[in-house]
């Protein structure tokens, strides 16, 4: 009889693992696999020709010109010289039966276990001829950021940012710091509405206007107009007005990189790749796979704090924690498996304000200011769902968030007890004003994606749907 422990030891010594995706999640998983004693063949596949680098600085320090785009390579926590890095080559397909990943250069890599960490890419301007105009940018990769930085150094007369999500808002902030004239359009009633809701988002809107941004909410761009040289000259808006601009930055959220899994029979689609709390992928029938794992922005996983809804988080911290859990589970026995159930958290820096969040604000129906001063942009807001505290967001009050994290983890009543004495009691919760789940926004950092791993919206349609299916589906600004 073959003992399971022997099989595991043999796998750790002589097995092969492929990680598809060479960004933050892919790197962290690679480190943990080696740290936990995986000595076999380890291959990392990445479509960009760079060692794993950090993306949050791209819309901040790099765009501001303080840090070179090339100086964002992530530090390694473990020696990884014996890893086979296949960089600059995209994965194009997965054959589950043959246990092979197919690559863009025609080669394939076989594996015993695989981690999918292909993340997301920027959603570009939907009209292709307009997207190709000189002066139209997106920022997701190091190369994107370098190109936009070079353009900003030429002191453009008027920058248009299409979409007031976190990336768009951060870039508007940098442009104002550089002394540039900035217009931001947002199709919703306020910036950051998908991540923070309209109530708190409107405070972020005030912040933008106070710093000189021409913020136009409830407004979409209908066309980008170029001249005879195919250079951007003008933007047309949904209210019929036009504006002369020489730079347009498209910040309409992102698209999950799952096309390469089409036909793989995994539960992969526009919403991501469905997996369990142990990061194992579901197949298209809702059966868990044993050897295919998922982590990072591309994963949709169940979270107990949010009624086990499958959620997808485009958060730096989620990529780290989920990659660590996935890698641990890839090289450990069933009894030692670890769930990925950490409390979601993210930060953003814009207009001199540190915005931090714990929990899952879009799950909430109500929000209440717990402490501090909204006028001074120093406050903490708690979010509630049916009388339970589910999230908290701070503006320049980050040190209070651990207090709220404990409340969220223990499912405390909403509104919770304030830790300070600077707000009138009783507290007055108001509607959080999140857009309807099917309303497109440019702030898709959190997507509640339903319960079933094989929901029809999680599989590929032959044609893109005419109307967006979920919050993350974006569309025009």
Partner 1 sequence: MRVLVDLNRCQGYAQCCFLAPESFKLVGEEALMYDSGPDDALKEKIERAAASCPVQAIMVEYMNGHADEMVKSGTSEAEARHGA
Name, in order, each residue with C-beta under 8 angstroms of 7's C-beta and a sequence gap of 6 or more: none
Burial class (CB in 10 A: 0-12, 13-18, 19+), 37: exposed
Name, in order, each residue with C-beta under 8 angstroms of 463's C-beta and a sequence gap of 6 or more: none
Pick one of 67, 87, 134, 147: the residue that binds partner 1 (CB under 8 A).
67
- CA dist., res. 249 & res. 251, Å (int): 6
CB of 54 or CB of 130, closer to partner 1: 54
Nearest distance from C-beta of residue 32 to partner 1, angstroms: 7
Q: Which two tokens stand for residue 122?
A: 């920027």
Nearest distance from C-beta of residue 417 to partner 1, angstroms: 21
Nearest distance from C-beta of residue 270 to partner 1, angstroms: 27
Pick one of 344, 384, 435, 444: the residue that binds partner 1 (CB under 8 A).
344
CB of 36 or CB of 259, closer to partner 1: 36
Instruction: Decide if residue 76 touches partner 1 (CB under 8 A).
Output: yes
Number of residues that bind partner 1 (CB under 8 A): 45
Give Cα separations from 292 to 86, 389, 451, 474 (angstroms). Answer: 19, 34, 20, 29
Burial class (CB in 10 A: 0-12, 13-18, 19+), 288: middle
CB of 90 or CB of 409, closer to partner 1: 409
- CA dist., res. 473 & res. 436, Å (int): 13
Nearest distance from C-beta of residue 249 to partner 1, angstroms: 20
Q: Select from 197, 199, 216, 198 the least CA-distant residue to 208.
A: 216
Instruction: Decide if residue 15 touches partner 1 (CB under 8 A).
Output: no
Q: Select from 232, 268, 354, 338 the least CA-distant residue to 91.
A: 268
Instruction: Decide if residue 293 touches partner 1 (CB under 8 A).
Output: no
Contact range with partner 1 by CB under 8 A, out of 68-76, 130-138, 293-301, 462-470: 68-76
CB of 75 or CB of 106, closer to partner 1: 75
Pattern 21-60, partner 1, x by CB under 8 A: -------x--xx---------------------x-xx--x
Between the two ends of the chain, the Cα-to-Cα distance in Å is: 61
Nearest distance from C-beta of residue 162 to partner 1, angstroms: 25
Cis amide linkage into residue 158, ω under 30° from 0: no
Pattern 159-188, partner 1, x by CB under 8 A: ------------------------------
Task: Identify the H or E element spanning 176.
Answer: helix 166-177
What number of other Cβ atoms are within 10 A of residue 376's Cβ? Answer: 9
Task: Indicate left, alpha or beta for 197 from its phi (over 0: left) and psi (-120 to 50: alpha).
Answer: left
Nearest distance from C-beta of residue 378 to partner 1, angstroms: 7
Pattern 309-328, partner 1, x by CB under 8 A: -------xx--xx--xx---
CB of 43 or CB of 322, closer to partner 1: 322
Binding site for partner 1 (CB under 8 A): 28, 31-32, 54, 56-57, 60-61, 66-68, 70-77, 79-81, 316-317, 320-321, 324-325, 342-347, 349, 352-354, 356, 358, 378, 396, 398-399, 405
């Amino acid at each position: 009889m073959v003992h399971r422990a022997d099989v595991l030891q043999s796998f750790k010594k002589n097995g092969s693992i492929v990680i598809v995706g060479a960004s933050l999640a892919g790197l962290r998983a690679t480190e943990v696999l080696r740290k936990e004693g995986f000595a076999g063949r380890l291959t990392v596949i990445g479509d960009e020709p760079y060692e794993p680098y950090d993306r949050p600085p791209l819309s901040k320090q790099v765009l501001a010109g303080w840090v070179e785009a090339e100086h964002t390579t992530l530090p390694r926590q473990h020696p990884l010289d014996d890893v086979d890095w296949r960089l600059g080559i995209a994965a194009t397909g997965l054959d589950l039966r043959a246990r092979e990943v197919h690559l863009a250069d025609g080669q394939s890599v076989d594996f015993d276990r695989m981690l999918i960490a292909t993340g997301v890419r920027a959603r570009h301007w939907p009209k292709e001829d307009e997207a190709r105009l000189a002066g139209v940018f997106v920022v997701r990769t190091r190369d994107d950021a370098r190109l936009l930085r070079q353009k900003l150094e030429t002191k453009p007369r008027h920058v248009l940012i299409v979409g007031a999500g976190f990336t768009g808002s951060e870039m508007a902030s940098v442009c104002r710091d550089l002394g540039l004239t900035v217009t931001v359009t947002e199709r919703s009633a306020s910036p950051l509405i998908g991540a923070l809701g309209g109530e708190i988002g409107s405070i972020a809107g005030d912040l933008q206007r106070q710093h000189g941004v021409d913020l136009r909410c409830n407004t979409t761009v209908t066309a980008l107009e170029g001249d005879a040289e195919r250079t951007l000259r003008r933007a047309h808006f949904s209210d019929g007005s036009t504006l002369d601009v020489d730079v347009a930055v498209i910040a309409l959220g992102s698209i999950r990189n799952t096309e390469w899994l089409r036909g793989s029979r995994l539960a992969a689609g526009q919403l991501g790749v469905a997996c369990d709390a142990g990061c194992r992928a579901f197949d298209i029938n809702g059966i868990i796979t044993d050897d295919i794992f998922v982590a990072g922005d591309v994963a949709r996983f169940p979270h107990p704090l949010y009624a086990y809804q499958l959620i997808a988080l485009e958060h730096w911290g989620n990529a780290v924690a989920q990659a660590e859990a996935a890698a641990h589970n890839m090289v450990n026995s069933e009894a030692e498996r670890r769930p990925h159930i950490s409390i979601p958290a993210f930060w953003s820096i814009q207009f001199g304000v540190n915005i931090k969040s714990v929990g899952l604000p879009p799950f909430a129906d109500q929000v209440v200011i717990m402490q501090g001063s909204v006028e001074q942009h120093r406050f903490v807001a708690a979010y509630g769902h049916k009388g339970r505290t589910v999230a908290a967001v701070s503006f320049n009050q980050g040190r209070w968030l651990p207090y709220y994290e404990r409340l969220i983890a223990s499912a405390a009543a909403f509104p919770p007890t304030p830790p300070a004495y600077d707000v009138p009691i009783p507290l007055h919760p108001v509607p959080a004003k999140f857009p309807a789940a099917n309303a497109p926004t440019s702030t898709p950092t959190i997507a509640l994606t339903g319960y079933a791993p094989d929901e029809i919206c999680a599989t590929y349609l032959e044609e893109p749907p005419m109307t967006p299916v979920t919050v993350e589906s974006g569309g025009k600004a």
